[in-house]
A and B are shown apart, each in its own frame.
Chain A
Amino acid sequence: MGFFVTSLIFLLVGVIAAIFVRLCCNRGPSTNLLHLTLVITAIICCWMMWAIVYLAQLKPLIVPILNEGD
């Protein structure tokens, strides 16, 4: 699964989470905006962490060298 496909999946999960939060706890416009901000922040953090680890392994300069006795 490539980089862009998985990023798209993160985006979709974010959208679904935002909709879910709006449906289950609809408490007025100002609170809804707060919930949306939290969901967006969370998705961005999760995506960034995944993307960093993924990109670092895309074209590796070091490879695993096994230990004797493994």
Chain B
Amino acid sequence: MIGARHPMDMIRSEAMQLVQFIIPIESSHLTVSYLGELGLVQFRDLNANKNLFQRTHANQIKRCGEMGRKLRFFKDHMAKAGILPSVLSEMSQMTQAHTDFDELEAILSELEDDLIRVNANNLKLLRTYNEHLEYMLVIQKVGEFLYAKQNLTAALRSQIHDTDRSEMITDPSKQIKLGFVSGLIPKEKTMAFERTLFRATRGNMFLKQAAVENLVTDPVSGDKIAKNVFVAFYSGERAKEKIIKICDSFGANRYPHADDLERRREIIEEVSRKISELKVTVDVGLQHRENLLKHINDQFAQWNLLVKKEKSVYHILNMFSFDVTKKCLVAEGWSPIFASNQIQSILQKATIDSNSQIGSIFQVLHTKESPPTYFHTNKFTMAFQEIVDAYGVAKYQEINPAVYTIITFPFLFAVMFGDWGHGICLLLITLYFIVREKKLSSQKLGDITEMIFGGRYVILMMALSSIYTGLIYNEFFSVPFDLFGKTAYACSDTSCINAYTQGLTKVRQTYSFGVDPQWHGSRTELPFLNSLKMKMSILLGVTQMNLGIILSYFNGNFFKNNLNIWHQFVPQMIFLNSLFGYLSILIIVKWCTGSKADLYHVMIYMFLNPTDELGENQLFIGQKILQVILLLFAVVSVPWMLFPKPFLLKRQHQARHQRRDFAMETLFTVDNDTIELNPDHDSNSDKEFEFSEVFVHQLIHTIEFVLGAVSNTASYLRLWALSLAHSELSSVFYDKVLILAWGYKNVFIIIIGIIIFLFATIGVLLVMETLSAFLHALRLHWVEFQNKFYEGDGYKFAPFSFALLSEGGDD
């Protein structure tokens, strides 16, 4: 049924077709853009043998890369300046004018140059400003030394006198003139500085230092460091040169100083003036930069998106091939059949918008290749579909297990999790995520939060189911309630002495909804619950496996595969139900009649001694005969699964071979609407038929099913196991932590008890048990349910879509 959708949404993949576009070059860019916005075509790469640099649009992609780099540069600077990135809202996307690609390139280069220039200027200004600040400090500090200079000179003169009288005598003409070098040096280098100076000048220098109280911004590095002001007094030219060199090597900034008081005051005034001027200029410069960045920020998100879109469009254009005339591009791709009309109207729109004279051609190609699988999901069903896809993407048009998984997966989870108190906790957590859906979907969340957010609807279903099964198991943090009437059990007589030895008796009607509250805390609680839960697991398991086999019938029906229906579905149903279906019926009969029959015994002796008398294990009349018949059915169905199919397949193959040889002799006819692809595609159906291979495949399938019937049924017992673990853990935390703490009557111990109970419940029961039950329910679906019918060897439809682009990370 070409064009018609399936009777039920999501049950099978949408019908897909291989389409071919022939697009004139002038409208190609727009066509691809519009198709990207539609997001329903998966293009095939027709130039697979060329590498990235040989393709037509390699240059444009390089330009896009350049623009991407500039945008990243802007982003870094904006982040450094502390401007928060603007979020692209839907409104701004629609209302902005469509900026041309070339225009954008020019704008971006201009902005980049601007930004670099502004940054450089700012840096220079800032440096000059800091230098002036340091100069000011030096002047102030050194001034203090000046008053002591006179005494110093005298002291030095006398020192030199004492140490070297001979020098003085031999050279009286030499005038000792003291000079000094003043500046700032980082505090940590002062010791080394002093030592080096001392050594270099052979002790003929005097260094005076004073620490600066506040941290000083170093002009070169821009960091705030602790510095000392120093004055180095020296005599002689050579000493001066040495000192200057040493200062430079230590990174000490030297500033000149005037002796004269007048001069000094003038300098102070000038420097202060310069400082205030520079401050204003620096501030203006920073403001200018901030404005520039803000201006960029407004448009950043949409520019980014535009560049990404253009890059992807060019990648797609690279996949197209030129046709013979070199004037048109040929494109091939997969697309759903229901989108045909939309695609054709898009092609027309692109032709009109690009003022092209020639229209594009859209035609459907026939091929035997298997199309990709596409399920149309919404935000609720998407998570369940992803769970199924994680195991294997459905083969094209086979039944999608996700339809049933939506209900059965949370249900099986809840069977293992059953506690309505914990269910309510899960519900509250997931409601938080759902209520804040819109806000959280645009934010960037951490890895684990992202996973929980993505699965919020799954967890919602799990929570609701857990509340239901919790009410049935009658456990609220392991405490039972009698919400649904009175308990059915009471003492057998008024004195109640038997209650502790033989137990209570059932005096009223069965408790109407769920497990009777009287069971909790009794000595026979575990034997009863174990029996109940194990039998429940078997019943649920047999039901789900039957559903799986029935789905294989529908698959056989759809693909017109009668072989599968008669020689796989029928014997499988017979085998599973004559053994485990029969067991389920026995369970129900035993419950209804209250018989004391031992079902293990019945099942095992059905195989070992089918003709034996049942005696006290008889549940109904005619049971022995029925068991013999069912055993025969099971035994017959095994060779039925194994032998007919390979032989029939062989016969089919031979019949097809004969037909092909006959058809080869006639000429090919070409249809008007569709074009037959070259005969190579037909050869897929004519591959070699190895009988032994087919037989072995069928043998493996049969053995897997027969042994799997036992092992899968037993596998469902994990429903019992995890449910038992959950209820025991919950019971222990309640009885041995909360109640124990409560018994002490000491507030301190009670509070500690409550805290431990809280952490244990959250950590062990809400987190660990949830993950555990999630995993096991998943396994039951992936293996025990799906191996009855699912092939899962398809590939997913990955359309070219702009929506997926903006979701993906930054390139």
Q: Which residues of A contact B (CB under 8 A)?
A: 1-2, 6, 29-31, 33-34, 37-38, 41-42, 45-46, 48-50, 52-68, 70
Contacts and interface: CB of A to CB of B under 8 A. Distances in A.
Contacts of B7: 29-30, 33
A1 B722 CA distance: 31
17 contacts: A31-B9, A34-B11, A37-B404, A38-B407, A42-B411, A49-B468, A49-B472, A52-B532, A57-B516, A58-B510, A59-B593, A60-B506, A61-B596, A62-B531, A63-B502, A63-B504, A63-B505
Contacts of B535: 52, 56
Interface stretch (B65-73, B294-302, B519-527, B799-807): B519-527
Given A58-B592, A63-B489, A34 B403 contact: yes
Given A6-B512, A42-B407, A58-B592, A63 B523 contact: no
A66 B522 contact: yes
B407 A41 contact: yes
B524 A63 contact: yes
Interface stretch (B211-219, B361-369, B536-544): B536-544
A55 B7 CA distance: 37
Interface in B503-559: 503-506, 509-516, 518-519, 521-525, 527-528, 531-532, 535-536, 539-540, 543
Contact of B9 (A34, A56, A64): A34
A37 B400 CA distance: 13
Given A34-B8, A55-B592, A67 B536 contact: no
A61 B530 CA distance: 13
A64 B522 contact: yes
Contacts of B468: 46, 49
B668 interface: no
Interface string B397-420: 000000110111001000100000
B702 interface: no
Nearest to A59: B594
B588 interface: yes
Contacts of A30: 5-9
Nearest to B496: A66
A65 B407 contact: no
Given A38-B407, A45-B407, A65 B501 contact: yes
Given A38-B406, A48-B543, A56 B532 contact: yes
Contact of A33 (B9, B527, B593): B9
A65 B536 contact: no
Nearest to A68: B500
Interface of B: 5-11, 403-404, 406-408, 411, 415, 468-469, 472, 488-489, 499-506, 509-516, 518-519, 521-525, 527-528, 531-532, 535-536, 539-540, 543, 588, 591-594, 596
- Chain A binding site: helix, strand, loop or mixed by DSSP? helix
The list of the 3 closest CB pairs from A to B, nearest first, reads A59-B594, A65-B503, A64-B522
A60 to B, nearest CB: 6
A66 B523 contact: yes
A46 B438 CA distance: 32
A61 B502 CA distance: 12
A55 B535 CA distance: 11
Given A34-B11, A53-B536, A54-B510, A66 B528 contact: no
Contacts of A70: 521-522
A50 B472 contact: yes
A37 B404 CA distance: 8
A66 B644 CA distance: 60
A37 B408 CA distance: 12
A62 B525 CA distance: 9
Nearest to A27: B9
Between A37, A49, A54, A55, the greatest number of chain B beta carbons within 10 A of the residue's beta carbon is seen for A49
A49 B469 CA distance: 8
B472 A62 contact: no
A58 B519 contact: no
Between A31, A61, A65, A68, the greatest number of chain B beta carbons within 10 A of the residue's beta carbon is seen for A65
Nearest to A65: B503
A63 B503 CA distance: 6
Contacts of B407: 38, 41-42, 45
Contact of A65 (B408, B502, B512): B502
A57 B9 contact: no
A53 B532 contact: yes
A29 B7 CA distance: 7
A1 B11 CA distance: 38
A67 B503 CA distance: 10
Contact of A53 (B501, B514, B523, B588): B514
Given A57-B510, A63-B524, 14 more contacts: A33-B8, A48-B543, A49-B536, A53-B536, A57-B515, A58-B594, A59-B593, A62-B528, A64-B504, A64-B523, A64-B525, A65-B522, A68-B500, A70-B522
A64 B524 CA distance: 6
Contacts of A62: 503, 524, 527-528, 531
Nearest to A29: B7
Contacts of A57: 488, 510-511, 515-516
Contacts of B6: 30
Contacts of B509: 1-2
B310 to A, nearest CB: 36
Nearest to B527: A62
A59 B522 contact: no
